[in-house]
Amino acid sequence: MDAADRRFKVMGGTLTHDVCEYIAAMTQESEIEVHVGCDSQNHKRHTVYVTTVVFRFPNNGAHVIYRRERVPKILDMWTKLWGETERSVALANLILEECDLRVAQIDLDFNSDSQHASHKLVSASSGYITSLGFRSKVKPDLLMAAWAANVLCQ
């Protein structure tokens, strides 16, 4: 990730922070669990991706930072959703390699129910993530990072 990709905002805030510096500060304060997720939304002429880091405080809530990215509109569902997987994996790898912290879970905004179109990517994305040593979850499991990304994508 280049320097611009490392700039994240606090949900509800306006200042940007280097993701690794922010993580270092957060992990000094208390024991936390880190989740990563991404969601995308098509608009008239572009696609917006929001990638999130959720800091879970055991029995005491969560805190979210995020990065918003705007790209030319992606019409193909597979390509758009695979972009979510790629962004989540890139962030989880950055956190592992440069922040020296293993992400507890990568939340995929995909559905395990075959009635939903995103189900087609569950096997490929989950397998890819598992092969890299990370754990992934899909709906209907609790997906705080994917939920936060969805809210911020609107």
Q: What's the CA gap between 92 and 105, in Å, rounded?
A: 9
Place of tokens 């705007």: 70
pTM, 2 dp = 0.92
pLDDT tens, residue by residue, 1-49 = 665 678 898 888 888 889 999 998 888 877 889 999 999 999 999 999 9
pLDDT digits (tens, 9 = 90+) for 64-97: 999 999 999 999 999 999 999 999 999 999 999 9
How far, in Å, CA of 129 to CA of 39, rounded?
16
**Burial class for 69, CB neighbours closer than 10 Å (0-12, 13-18, 19+):** middle
CATH number at 3-153 = 3.30.420
Structural domain boundaries of the chain? Answer: 3-153
